[in-house]
């Protein structure tokens, strides 16, 4: 009996490099600095609040838009951090993770033939999300080695079909950030057009060296045409929760919710109850940047004894390192070899380019316990 034939909507997509490297690390017992997840415990207080919520009976569906009290505390946070008033009723929706929020935003507005500007290296969900909606990714490389946007190139690549520009700050995989000048350039480009913006800000609070986060939420003119995606899992060290949220204008959010209601519909209620209480203490998020900066700096000190050369990280879980003083191998071959021979897994940055562009740079995740970072550095010194 023959099986029905299926024409793939994503024929170029296979197993991600994250799965490959994490599986290899597990198989070999290597230190996994590849995939972006913490190996230290999340807040005990937040765990207790979830437990309490379940015991208190908050175990049924939350509202489709998300628990009202959580959306209200998020609106207060946005006003306090960015000076922008958003409505918790019409502009915030709780989602099962930041990646879901990104997919739903793109599915809400993209139609076949639309063009979407995507900056590479890019988080690996962006281009498949564009393509599965029949839209066309217009790939623009960030300038190496500082990974800044070339706005003149953006202007050259605009067409009558340009529907969206996708941004990510703090940036995965590079740790670069948007600056005020980037925002001015963006405003200049989209003013008077129908171009929409998606801003991936899942590392919102993980920004270093006292630099303010240039969130789209600071700019009402940009927010009016934007979807902004966030992740509770990334910033509160509980990636397995798969809980995030999207912020947009009332008109765009109304359409976003039409897609959302027939997909996820509702997110984990006890976690939302817990977060609504947890976020009432502003220090729960204001202290996050300093906490991760200490880990970045400590990892940098450890790595200074190796032959790797760091590139700046201004935010996120990640720092890139060049290995030109070690080898001229392609980055994928290099990461696999050092995983097998030295027991440390990383991610080749070429995996974040559709073209496989290889600048001989690898990504390490420093959101780990001190002993994990020390163990990794002890092995990397030997290379």
In a 10 Å sphere around its CB, with 0-12 CB exposed, 13-18 middle and 19+ buried, how is residue 383 labelled?
middle
- Reference 90, options 241, 229, 250, 235; nearest CA is 250
Residues 315 and 235 in one domain: no
Residues 206 and 311 in one domain: no
The answer to whether residue 81 is domain-embedded is yes
Residues 314 and 200 in one domain: no
Final residue of a domain: which of 281, 316, 340?
281
Calculate the alpha carbon distances from 229 to 6, 68, 99, 167 in Å: 32, 18, 8, 10
171: left (phi over 0), alpha (psi -120 to 50) or beta: beta
The answer to whether residue 84 is domain-embedded is yes
Residues 183 and 236 in one domain: yes
Task: Determine how many CB atoms are found less than 10 A away from the CB of residue 136.
Answer: 16
Number of domains, the chain: 2
The answer to whether residue 168 is domain-embedded is yes
Residue-level pLDDT at 1:
64
Residues 235 and 309 in one domain: no
> Going by C-beta distance under 8 Å and a sequence separation of 6 or more, which residues neighbour residue 165?
116, 117, 154, 186, 189, 190, 195, 196, 197, 198
Between 36 and 344, whose confidence is greater?
344
Final residue of a domain: which of 263, 281, 299?
281
- Reference 256, options 120, 114, 141, 90; nearest CA is 90
Task: Determine how many CB atoms are found less than 10 A away from the CB of residue 45.
Answer: 12
The answer to whether residue 338 is domain-embedded is yes
The answer to whether residue 271 is domain-embedded is yes
Residues 230 and 319 in one domain: no
pLDDT in tens, 148-166: 999 999 999 999 999 999 9
- Reference 337, options 373, 313, 362, 355; nearest CA is 362
Residues 165 and 246 in one domain: yes
Domain CATH for 30: 3.90.1150.10
The band of 14, judged by pLDDT with boundaries at 50, 70 and 90, is confident
Residue-level pLDDT at 64:
97
The answer to whether residue 28 is domain-embedded is yes
Do 331 and 358 meet the contact criterion of CB atoms below 8 Å apart?
yes
Domain that holds residue 256: 60-281
pLDDT in tens, 260-302: 999 999 999 999 999 999 999 999 999 999 999 999 999 999 9
Domain CATH for 166: 3.40.640.10
φ/ψ of 37, rounded to 5, equals -145, 145
Residues 137 and 273 in one domain: yes
Residues 66 and 94 in one domain: yes
Helix, coil or strand: residue 7: coil
The answer to whether residue 11 is domain-embedded is no
Helices vs. strands in the chain: H and E counts, helices first: 15, 13
Rg (CA), the chain: 21
Omega before 101 cis (within 30°)? no
Residues 119 and 150 in one domain: yes
Helix, coil or strand: residue 170: coil
Question: Average pLDDT for residues 303-315, to the nearest whole number?
Answer: 98
The answer to whether residue 50 is domain-embedded is no
pLDDT in tens, 223-259: 999 999 999 999 999 999 999 999 999 999 999 999 9
Final residue of a domain: which of 238, 253, 281?
281
Residues 184 and 291 in one domain: no
pLDDT in tens, 80-108: 999 999 999 999 999 999 999 999 999 99
- Reference 93, options 219, 215, 261; nearest CA is 261
Residues 115 and 251 in one domain: yes
User: Average pLDDT, whole number, for the chain?
Assistant: 96
pLDDT in tens, 201-221: 999 999 999 999 999 999 999
Q: Where are the alpha helices (DSSP H) in 56-94?
A: 68-82
């Amino acid at each position: 009996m023959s099986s029905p034939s299926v024409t793939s909507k994503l024929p170029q997509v296979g197993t991600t490099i994250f799965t490959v490297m994490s599986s290899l690390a597990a198989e070999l017992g290597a230190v996994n600095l590849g995939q972006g997840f913490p190996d230290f415990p999340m807040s005990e207080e937040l765990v207790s609040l979830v437990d309490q919520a379940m015991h208190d009976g908050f175990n049924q569906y939350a509202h489709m838009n998300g628990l009202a009290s959580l959306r209200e505390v998020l609106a207060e946070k946005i006003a306090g951090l960015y000076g922008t008033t958003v409505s918790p009723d019409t502009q915030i929706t709780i989602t099962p993770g930041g990646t879901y929020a990104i997919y739903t935003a793109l599915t809400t507005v993209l139609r076949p033939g639309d063009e979407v500007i995507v900056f590479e290296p890019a988080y690996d969900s962006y281009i498949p999300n564009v393509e599965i909606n029949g839209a066309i990714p217009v790939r623009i490389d960030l300038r190496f080695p500082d990974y800044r946007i070339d706005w003149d190139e953006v202007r050259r690549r605009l067409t009558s079909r340009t529907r969206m520009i996708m941004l990510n700050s703090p940036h995965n995989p590079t740790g670069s950030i948007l600056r005020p000048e980037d925002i001015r350039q963006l405003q200049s480009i989209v003013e008077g057009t129908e171009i929409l913006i998606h801003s991936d800000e899942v590392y919102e609070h993980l920004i270093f060296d006292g630099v303010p986060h240039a969130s789209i939420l600071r700019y009402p003119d940009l927010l009016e045409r934007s979807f902004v995606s966030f992740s509770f899992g990334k910033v509160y060290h509980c990636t397995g929760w798969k809980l995030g949220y999207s912020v947009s204008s009332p008109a765009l959010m109304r359409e976003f919710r039409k897609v959302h209601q027939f997909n996820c519909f509702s997110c984990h209620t006890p976690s939302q109850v817990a977060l609504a209480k947890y976020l009432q203490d502003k220090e729960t998020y204001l202290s996050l940047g300093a906490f991760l900066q200490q880990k970045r700096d400590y990892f940098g000190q450890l790595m200074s004894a190796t032959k790797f050369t760091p590139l700046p990280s201004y935010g996120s879980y990640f720092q890139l390192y060049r290995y030109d003083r070690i080898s001229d191998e392609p980055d994928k071959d290099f990461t696999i070899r050092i995983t097998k021979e030295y027991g440390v897994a990383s991610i080749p940055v070429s995996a974040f380019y559709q073209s496989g562009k290889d600048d001989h740079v690898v990504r390490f995740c420093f959101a780990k316990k001190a002993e994990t970072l020390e163990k990794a550095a002890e092995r990397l010194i030997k290379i």
